[in-house]
Amino acid sequence: MEVARKLLESYDYNVNEVGLRVGYSTGSHFIAAFKKKFGTTPKKYITASS
C-alpha cells in the first residue's frame, strides 16, 4: 500500500492504474483497501496532498 501511495503522489497514474499496478483486479477493491489503510479515498488523498 505504501507503493500505491507513492505512485499516487507521483501523479503519473490515475487511481485505477495504481490499483492494477499494485495487484488489485478492480479499482473498487483498491479504493476500499486504501481507505481502510489510510482513512481516506485515493482521490481525496491526492487532492489533499497537492
pLDDT in tens, 24-43: 999 999 999 999 999 999 99
C-alpha 50/C-alpha 27 separation (Å) is 21
Grid cell for residue 40: 481516506
- Give the domains, in start order, of the chain with CATH numbers: 2-48 (1.10.10.60)
Residue 49 reports pLDDT greater than 90: no
pTM, rounded to two decimals: 0.89
Instruction: Give burial (CB, 10 Å; 0-12/13-18/19+) of 39.
Output: exposed
What average pLDDT does the segment 1-27 reach? 96
**In this predicted structure, what is the pLDDT of residue 25?**
95
